[in-house]
Amino acid sequence: MTRKVFVLFLFFITSTVTLSQTGKLAKGKQSLKENRSVKPTFSSSTTKATSSKRSQREYNEDLGFGFLLKELFVKLFAYTAYGLVVESPFEKESKMHDAELSNYPYKQAYFGNYIYTDSINYNITRLDVYTSYVKENNNLSGVNLGVDFRFLKRLSLGVHFTELKEKTITGKESFSSFSSLLKYHRIRTQKIDAWFGLGFLHVGNNVNNSGFAFGLGADWFVTKPVSIRVSHKWANINKREVNNLKLLLKYHINRYHIASGYEHFKIGPSKINTFSVGIGASF
């Protein structure tokens, strides 16, 4: 009886370990290698030609009216899109229009990344660097390294490197990615800094493939010395998603900060939920 219980216990432990070491990184990388391109299908259809009795004059009138309507629609769409994405006419008269880049967050208690026009506390450019350690469990963990070069008040170039490692029954697996986004900081107030960015993401190891990337993010400077960061980056490799979501709480100490929170990674079908802790600085 005791022997049977012992065998069942070993079987349970082995099953648990097997389930906890299914190789998320290996599964994700394998999916990124697979080409999911679908051959287009063509369907034949028969059309019957119909005769038109309209005169050339009526046709030209319809064509001219359609062209004017189309031109009006395009201009209206472009005007609206510019206002939503870049800046609306109302914002040109607001303080946000002339907001300057601060030396570093919370140099003064009332501002974060941006300060309304000031002759002392702003930078023409700024370099933000950060690193963090992420961990899902004892088998899967990794590091992030990143640099944001901020310039021209509203723009920044973000470069980010991630490496994840996982212990499995068959050995060790690793996943590394490098991404770069050109960001436009759409909302620039003394309390909120929100941006969107376009760029690319490259997956290394034995995947060696790149794809388009898009990101959104925001920093909310709640009260000195605390801020909250939320960001999400989407990328596509062989029609598979490679995503990263961050929800971090930051504690600022002069030019430096400590960050801790939640990070989610999606590598193809594999989903990884981690605890994150890191440090950063602004120069």
pLDDT tens-digit profile of 179-189?
Answer: 999 999 999 99
**Both tokens of residue 113?**
């990344």
pLDDT tens-digit profile of 169-180?
Answer: 888 999 999 999
Q: pLDDT at residue 133 above 60? A: yes
Q: pLDDT at residue 46 above 50? A: no
* Of 164-173, 254-263, 274-283, minimum mean pLDDT range: 164-173
pLDDT tens-digit profile of 1-20?
Answer: 444 433 443 343 344 344 44
The enclosing H or E element of 72 equals helix 56-85
Comparing 71 with 265, the larger pLDDT belongs to: 265
User: Residue 255 has what pLDDT?
Assistant: 97
pLDDT tens-digit profile of 205-230?
Answer: 889 999 999 999 999 999 999 999 99
Residues with Cβ < 8 Å from 217, sequence gap 6 or more?
A: 183, 194, 195, 196, 197, 229, 230, 231, 232, 246
pLDDT tens-digit profile of 65-109?
Answer: 566 666 666 666 665 666 677 787 878 888 999 999 999 999 999
Comparing 126 with 2, the larger pLDDT belongs to: 126
Task: Tell me if 264 sits within 8 A of 274, measured CB to CB.
Answer: yes
pLDDT tens-digit profile of 236-255?
Answer: 999 999 999 999 999 999 99
pLDDT tens-digit profile of 139-167?
Answer: 999 999 999 999 999 999 999 999 999 99
User: Residue 89 has what pLDDT?
Assistant: 80
User: Residue 34 has what pLDDT?
Assistant: 78
pLDDT tens-digit profile of 99-124?
Answer: 999 999 999 999 999 999 766 678 89
Average pLDDT (31-52) is 56
C-alpha gyration radius of the chain: 26
Q: Which of 50-59, 65-74, 231-240 has the highest mean pLDDT?
A: 231-240
* Residue ranges of domains in the chain, CATH in brackets: 90-282 (2.40.160.20)
Distance between CA atoms of residues 36 and 42, nearest Å: 19
Comparing 176 with 55, the larger pLDDT belongs to: 176
Please give the single-letter amino acid code of residue 96.
M
